[in-house]
Structure 1
């Protein structure tokens, strides 16, 4: 699983802020208890200091610390019993003065056995959702809210089936792609006229995949190519980071392919993106208003061949849903 460095930094910052907040709240609760019963503070100090004092004394004199430890154990048992009684009298749980990590797996470090712990992955997922929400309406665009009612049931001779039948198939493929993400790499080409649901289903996929902790980059082709251009010609550090994100994220969703001004550099950058991610077995979704044949003419036959050979092609057709909604006041 790849992690976007920019998003992980924000996740770590929020992770640390929450950890400090929990620690501050615990210390406040602890001080309130000590104020109510000062003897508990004395007991806490005794339990913290006695062990090191006796062992240090025994080692300084060159004696075996075992007897001293035995004495300490008995003394500690007596003090701990007094502590339990005081807490019981106050109606407090026995462990109320013990700070416990929110995550028992990693002890609130965020890492376990050299890997990102699931608690930090949850922070990462939330930060990634925020990032995606800047581009997508993740609040309403989901598989649960997708409606087939906007697609005509009339037979379409050009495609050999109705738009409704086609979208039932496309929906099932996209939903399975999202739910099974990570089990195998896969690539989709969503193509068709504007306003037919390509962005909606892409957002639903992004929502599902990112919610499971995978790194997702969603952006328009124009903006992505601008960052590649800045990285090559201006050497901007941020541009270099953006290029790395595009090439290395678990899922790249490149929207509005074909709306940018196509130049030799754009053709080269797109081939680099497609080819590099195929070689690294990284999943990619391309959204475009272009038909597959137009991709070959606009970019290159080699690129079109790579896409047609390695991507699942999903056609979108029907009536412009945005226009229909506007007409119906929705």
Structure 2
């Protein structure tokens, strides 16, 4: 898994700022203690000086430095004991002047060797959620908040099961897809159905859970995504083209892409080509994708090329939403 550079940069900046805040707090506390307990300041100066003595003793030629080092060590232990007694006697903890990293595993660097530490992963997940929230309004959207109460338990015309039974199944698929991301037997999902049935809500639930589990997630609308592909190819301004290229790389390279509202875009030959490139490239790279659309699969076949329709039907688990408009039902119950 790999986070976007912008997400990682913001998370690393927060880690550095927290480290700097702790350093400033330690300096403030040290100044306060030295003012109240001048002897502690003197002890600290002596302890720092013994480091030079140890180095000097170890470098002397013609004699064994061990006895000198032993004397210095004993003196240091006496000073440290006096220092502890002074601090605790004044109501401070014994380690009040010690540097204490917030994360003992990585010492606040964010990395353990070449592996990202869990503390930095947590910040990356938070930054990613913040980014997703700008578009998805990730407030109450969570699987725990999802309710089946608005879905009719009665038979629905033309369908084998009721809207509620259907949504129970869809909910379980989406929940397992998110919680077992990358290991679930459905790699890609296609959420199809009329507006107001919960497609965007469940997409947001998936985005939140997958992101919180440490994977990179990009959510965007079909209109925005294809506009970026178009800018990358046709933009005259170099900076605009580079920015669009960075965005298209995000779409192609993230662990999970959520493409919302497929079919709302103007379907030109260029858009057909861009959609095929996006879908095919992510399949070839074994990247996961969730697509939501108001189009039925019959409408998908009529609107897009056979290659695109074939991949969506063959490589995606199609989840059809049906029932009454949830937004209207909620409004009526207010």
Q: TM-score range by the shorter chain?
A: over 0.9
Helix, strand or coil for the counterpart of 2:81? helix
1:180 paired residue number? 180
Q: CA deviation at 1:255?
A: 0.2
Helix, strand or coil for the counterpart of 1:285? strand
CA contact (8 A) 1:187 1:311 kept: yes
2:247 paired residue number? 242
Q: CA deviation at 1:267?
A: 0.9
Give the gaps of 5 or more residues in structure 2.
none
How far apart, CA to CA, are the structure 2 residues paired with 1:58 and 1:317? Answer: 81
CA contact (8 A) 2:57 2:69 kept: no
1:203 paired residue number? 204
1:146 paired residue number? 146
1:122 paired residue number? 122
Q: Does 1:232 align with 2:237?
A: no
1:16 paired residue number? 16
Helix, strand or coil for the counterpart of 2:207? helix
CA contact (8 A) 1:34 1:40 kept: yes
2:193 paired residue number? 192
Helix, strand or coil for the counterpart of 1:213? coil
2:166 paired residue number? 166
How far apart, CA to CA, are the structure 1 residues paired with 2:248 and 2:298? Answer: 28
Q: CA deviation at 1:157?
A: 3.6
How far apart, CA to CA, are the structure 1 residues paired with 2:62 and 2:232? Answer: 66
Q: Does 1:326 align with 2:331?
A: yes
Q: How many aligned residue pairs are there?
A: 329
1:285 paired residue number? 290
Q: CA deviation at 1:60?
A: 5.9
1:45 paired residue number? 45
CA contact (8 A) 1:152 1:318 kept: yes
1:299 paired residue number? 304
Give the gaps of 5 or more residues in structure 1.
none
CA RMSD of aligned residues (A): 1.6
Q: CA deviation at 1:238?
A: 1.8
Q: CA deviation at 1:63?
A: 4.7
2:315 paired residue number? 310
Against the structure 1 CA distance between its residues 191 and 45, is the aligned structure 2 distance closer, same or farther, given a 3 Å change threshold?
same
CA contact (8 A) 1:296 1:302 kept: no
Q: CA deviation at 1:68?
A: 2.3
Q: Which moved more, 1:252-261 or 1:16-25?
A: 16-25
CA contact (8 A) 1:217 1:245 kept: yes
Q: Which moved more, 1:298-307 or 1:195-204?
A: 298-307
- Scaled by the length of structure 2, the TM-score of the pair is 0.94
- The structure 2 residue matched to 1:258, chosen from 260, 263, 267, is 263
Q: CA deviation at 1:41?
A: 1.1
How far apart, CA to CA, are the structure 2 residues paired with 1:224 and 1:87? Answer: 60
Kindly provide the CA deviation profile for residues 105-144 of structure 1, in whole angstroms up to 9, marking residues without a partner as x. Answer: 1000001120111000111111111111111121112111
- Scaled by the length of structure 1, the TM-score of the pair is 0.95
How far apart, CA to CA, are the structure 1 residues paired with 2:58 and 2:104? Answer: 35
Q: CA deviation at 1:100?
A: 0.9
How far apart, CA to CA, are the structure 2 residues paired with 1:231 and 1:151? Answer: 42
